[in-house]
Amino acid sequence: MSLMTERGTAARSGPNPGRGGHAASTSGRPAPEPTYEGDFVLDEHLLLDCGRTLANPTLHYAVYGRLNAARDNAVLVCHALSGSAQVGQWWPELFAPGGLLRLDHDCVLCVNLLGSCYGSTGPGSVDPETGRTYGPDFPLISIRDNVRAQGRLLDSLGIRRLRLVLGGSIGGMQALEWSIVHPDRVERAAIIAVAPLGAMGLALNHLQRRAIQQDPDWAGGRYLPQRPPLRGLALARQIAMLSYKAPLLFDERFGRNPNRNGEDPRGLDDLGGGLSGGRYDIAGYLDHQGQRFVERFDANAYLAILRTMETWDPLHGHASPAEAFAAIRARLTFIGISSDWLFPPGDVRELADTIRRAGVHTEYREMTSDHGHDAFLAEQATLAQLLQ
């Protein structure tokens, strides 16, 4: 498979972010290595839904397996909010022998979202028109903008049709958009644990944004590389973790137990002495998650992708669902998660039913789990069985 193209350049490059979903997988399966990982650079401006443009944006992507001679074995995986293109790292169970993704048969691609800090153009990138990093001036990127850019990448690789597009959370938004924007290019789409974000999700995003922007090191988004708003970003991640898990799971794992590890040696817990024994165990867990996150993600990138997620509307201003979804030709499978309260299963089912009533071949399946929204990462084997 040639990855050098006339309408863009591909080069071995990019970060090694490791696991990049909402939370690390609990799977002990060795992660498959990409056959190829590199960059695609558009040779022109990308017109965005917000009315602005990105000059020569870069898409960082990874490929697992190889295209066959007919080029009809391509699968596109779309990552979650803070994910990377290295899908083998964060969804290894889907590559299990005899599983959903078979590298002896499939060519699996994953593309890092625009706005991210894992190789694609984002707030930390240099704007070629100004010579300065975008920072807080990075434009609003829609889910549809990402899908259009991904389509250009696949064009450059000679991939005209995808046998499957799948993703969870914001990745599921992309999977559905692919079936809308490129109806003749998608055979099947799996939309996992997602619907338009409700008021509770919008409220949590607002608090995360405020946590970052009220950090003393925020500096209006023009923070120094050596002094990013770590405390605010860590707190934002902790707020997010509450929505990724379910109350029953927290009760089973942590209850009202005292913190098993003592005070955080890195000093992220500044609330101090209300408890004679320090923090409760759940507080220690959240502080640990916040610390891990600031070591791998950027605050401006996090804010950019939050906006991408919360502004997604699959109707796109159409007068009716029938009008919005009429072009879809793919077979759609929606997966809800029983304990998900960020994207409740009732909302996922309602979206599936709405699209079905528009005349699209659509089915809904539900994953029973106590893991909450993160179940699609935490219980990968169960998810793979539902999708087979």
Q: What positions carry a catalytic annotation? A: 169, 340, 373
Per-residue tokens: 92: 């290894």
Task: Count other Cβ atoms within 10 Å, centred on residue 126.
Answer: 11
**First-to-final CA distance of the chain:** 27
Q: Do the Cβ atoms of 110 and 168 come closer than 8 Å? A: no
Angle of the 143-156 helix axis to the 170-181 helix axis, nearest 10: 60
CA–CA dist 20, 86 (Å, integer): 8
Cβ-proximal residues to 130 (8 Å cutoff; 6+ apart), any chain: none
- Residue carrying structure tokens 């599983």: 99
Element (H, E) at 166: strand 164-168
Residue 355 sits at φ, ψ, to 5 deg, of -70, -35
C-alpha gyration radius of the chain: 20
Q: List, in sequence order, the alpha helices (H) in the chain.
A: 87-90, 143-156, 170-181, 199-213, 230-244, 247-253, 281-294, 299-310, 321-325, 345-357, 375-378, 380-387
Task: Count other Cβ atoms within 10 Å, centred on residue 130.
Answer: 10
The one-letter amino acid at 137: D
Task: Count other Cβ atoms within 10 Å, centred on residue 135.
Answer: 16
CA-nearest of 308, 299, 291 to 79 is: 308
Q: Do the Cβ atoms of 171 and 312 come closer than 8 Å? A: no
CA–CA dist 87, 19 (Å, integer): 8
Say how many CA atoms lie within 13 Å of 323 toward its Cβ: 6
